[in-house]
Structure 1
Amino acid sequence: MSGTSHIRVAIADDHALFRRGLANILKTYDSIEVIMEAQDGQDLLTQLAFQVPDVVLLDLQMPVLDGIKTTEQLRNRFPEVKIIIISMHDDDGFVTNLMELGANGYLIKDSDPDEVVKAIRTVMEENYYYGAFLTKVMHRRMVERSRPRKPSFSSQTPLSEREHEVLQLICSGLTNAEIAEKLYISDRTVEGHRTRIMEKIGAKNTAAMVVYAVKNGLY
């Protein structure tokens, strides 16, 4: 990854075989450094008092402190840490709720190791990672909420028309620079819109913004 020597990764999973196996696999990849293994959320938070990783790979079903509660605490105490959920759960509502809590990505446990590494690198560069699974979830949510015509801007939303336009472009995967070029505004203006959108809808990150847009028929 350009500009970064190593991405420091922590793995929290109560299944020792899976946790250690994943750690050993990740250690074979350039620029990935596994600095921490935890058997549950509380163990992870305890270890974070001594060192803080860039990315946490977090299981959901763990004793003592599960993935959901751990995600909430990580967002409050370590907002800069990227969180990628790794689980067997594939319920649409469950996944989108986790993204709203502030998770930066979601992978199912049988994902290919290359996809796990891609997710790690992508959340560091772009702050979120959809992946094939999460893209399918989003698509199903949009289909369920489909109307005879695509919903247009409504005065009931807290967003202005320009903010709504910026949000749609963010959902399409455009960078700030690409949005600025498309709308003929500056990068700084785009960043200002992005910040205000997050404040208005209570989103913790880009992934949560996309979830909001999908759930409210704005994308």
Structure 2
Amino acid sequence: MNNNGIAIVDDHLLFAQSLISLVSTFNKYKVLFHALNGKEFITEMENRERVPDLVLLDINMPVMDGLETMAWIKQHNPELKVLALSIDDREETIIKMLRLGARGYVLKDIHPDIFKKAVEDVLTKGFYFSDRITNTILDSIDKKEDTTKLRLKEREMEFLKLACTERTYKEIAENMFLSPKTIDGYREVLFEKLEVKSRVGLVLYAIKHKLIEV
């Protein structure tokens, strides 16, 4: 049986080399290539026969960053599984990557064992998001019935979809012609209904139930 092929896209050579060494210790996995940025990654993809089973993608890179690279993947190879591996833990960055189709998002300071689980989960289950990123949202989603979305009121659904965009809560309030206080109320109601603790959790729920297009 062939090993799962992994591509690494990261401009930090020392970190990338450490990652290559770490992956080489895992059974069933093999690093196919390393690219310093998205442009190099695209060149590699266009000139090789074997497509990686998984891409480990950094966010902040020169020439072509992770968001631009993810947009290219969404357009040209949407089935390709991508695990974002970054020091950037900003909510807006995570949401952008999710909307572009990333299957997972982990921070670079995670333990090697957790990193291995993230790789395995993305390849076998389709998704992985650390507790630090999601507040255990995936476990909650998996245990809840799909009918949860049917219990959302029309305005709650409207708020949920807007929460999955790059708009701030203030901008969402303006879009819905509501006060910021009322929007805070919608947020707290959905947090309770969907059993999530963050805006990222709302986005994951919406993606999981195909309430938004990614």
Determine if the TM-score, normalized by the shorter chain, exceeds 0.5.
Answer: yes
Q: Name the aligned partner's letter for residue 34 of structure 1.
A: V
TM-score computed with the length of structure 1 as normaliser: 0.63
Whole-Å separation in 2 of the counterparts to 1:122 and 1:95: 18
Residues 12, 56 of structure 1: 8 Å contact kept: yes
Deviation at 1:105, TM superposition (A): 0.6
Deviations for 1:84-134, whole angstroms, at most 9, x for unmatched residues? 111111112221221122111111111112222211110111211012222
Shift of 1:6: 2.0
**Counterpart for residue 38 of structure 1:** 35
1:201 pairs with 2:204: no
Shift of 1:155: 2.8
Give, in whole Å, the separation in 2 of the partners of 1:115 and 1:88. 16
**8 Å Cα contact 2:67/2:96 also seen in 1:** no
Runs of 4+ in structure 1 over 3 Å off: 136-139, 156-159
Q: Percent identity?
A: 31
In 1, Cα distance between the equivalents of 2:78 and 2:110?
26
| 1:40-68: CA deviation from partner (whole Å, max 9, x where unpaired) | 11101110111310110011111110000
Per the alignment, residue 143 of structure 2 pairs with none
Equivalent in the alignment of 2:17: 20
Give ranges in structure 1 of 5+ residues lacking alignment. 140-151, 160-170, 173-193, 205-219
Q: Distance in 1 between matches of 2:132 and 2:103?
A: 14
Mapped pair 1:98 → 2:109: no
What amino acid is aligned across from residue 119 of structure 2 in structure 1? Answer: I
Deviations 1:66-95 (A, max 9, x none): 000000101111111111111111112221
- The 1-side partners of 2:136 and 2:82 are apart by 18
Deviation at 1:19, TM superposition (A): 0.6
Question: Which structure 2 residues correspond to residues 64-75 of structure 1 after superposition, within 5 A?
Answer: 64-75=63-74
Unaligned 5+ residue runs, structure 2?
139-150, 161-193, 196-205
1:201 Cα deviation after fit: 2.1
So what's the TM-score if we normalise by structure 2? 0.65
1:76 corresponding residue in structure 2 = 75
* 1:113 and 2:124 aligned: no
Count of matched residue positions in the alignment of Structure 1 and Structure 2: 155
User: Which residue number corresponds to residue 57 of structure 2?
Assistant: 58
For 1:11, what is the secondary structure of its paired residue?
strand
Structural RMSD (CA)? 2.8
Q: Find the residue that maps to 2:21 and give its secondary structure.
A: helix
